[in-house]
Amino acid sequence: MSENAVNVTDENFADLTGQGVALVDFWAERCPPCHVQGPIVEKLAGEFSGRAVIGKLDVDSNPRVPTEFGLMYIPTLIVFKGGKEVERFTGLTPEDTLREILEGNLTLV
């Protein structure tokens, strides 16, 4: 299903979120709400292509980053700006909410 959203891993996480604006969707195969969140993230990935990094991190295959961020709940979506966490959403999050946060962080100098 992943056409637009980047596959984020423990290895490439630092590079992908290190600069600019990034959104990472933490998910797992056997997490049903994560499958509902997925298409929303995919849609945003298409919309923000070239402006922000929008990716998904599979917590089963990539245990290091989730532990680093004290993750205890999925889906969780974290927005980064210049490598720093600026916003965290716990649970299924509507596309409008995510879009607003991304736009907001992109226009801020």
Q: Virtual CA dihedral for 2, 39, 62, 85, nearest 10 degrees?
A: 120
Q: Which is nearer to other proteins, 35 or 81 (CB)?
A: 35
Rounded-to-integer distance, Cα 29 and Cα 4, Å: 18
Binding residues for other proteins restricted to 47-106, rule: CB under 8 A? 59-60, 70-76, 90-92, 94-96
Catalytic residue, chosen from 6, 28, 31, 71, is 31
Task: Tell me the CA distances in angstroms from 76 to 4, 10, 33, 36, one per residue in order.
Answer: 19, 16, 11, 13
> Which residues, other chains included, contact 11 with Cβ-Cβ below 8 Å and sequence gap of 6+?
none
**Contact status: 35 vs other proteins (CB under 8 A):** yes
Residue range at the interface with other proteins (CB under 8 A); choices 3-11, 32-40, 49-57, 77-85:
32-40
Q: Which amino acid is at 58?
A: D
- Is 43 labeled as catalytic in the residue annotation? no
- Is 60 labeled as catalytic in the residue annotation? no
**Contact status: 36 vs other proteins (CB under 8 A):** yes
Catalytic residue annotation: 31, 34
Sites of contact with other proteins (CB under 8 A): 28, 30-37, 39-40, 59-60, 70-76, 90-92, 94-96
